[in-house]
Amino acid sequence: MKTALFVVAAAALLAGCETKSPAWDKAGASEATANEDTASCHAKARVTPDRYPAPPRSTYTAGVELTADDARLRFEQEEFRRCMQEKGYNAKR
């Protein structure tokens, strides 16, 4: 019973965290250009080294800690956003 309750609670929390990625808009940019720029920024974000590598785990940490994968995902999302903005795109939600 506890397991079922836990699964339902976890599913509800994850559903609440789901976010839709923004669409990117640039005046005068064709769909092909936007697709090329998106692919370029995704590739750039994947290979950019993290400026702030995750510190070693502490046994004294309280609360939820990001895993290295979670931290890298957040970093890549931020790099992608920065790249698209540098190319003149605006995020639309």
What does the block give as tokens for 61?
């940490």
* Per-domain boundaries in the chain: 23-49+66-93
Query: How much is the mean pLDDT over the chain?
Result: 77
**Residue 8 one-letter amino acid:** V
Higher pLDDT among residues 34 and 19, named by residue: 34
Higher pLDDT among residues 68 and 57, named by residue: 68
24 by DSSP, 3-state: which? strand
pLDDT at 84 over 60: yes
pLDDT at 55 over 70: no
How remote is the C-alpha of 42 from its chain's centroid?
A: 11
Higher pLDDT among residues 37 and 16, named by residue: 37
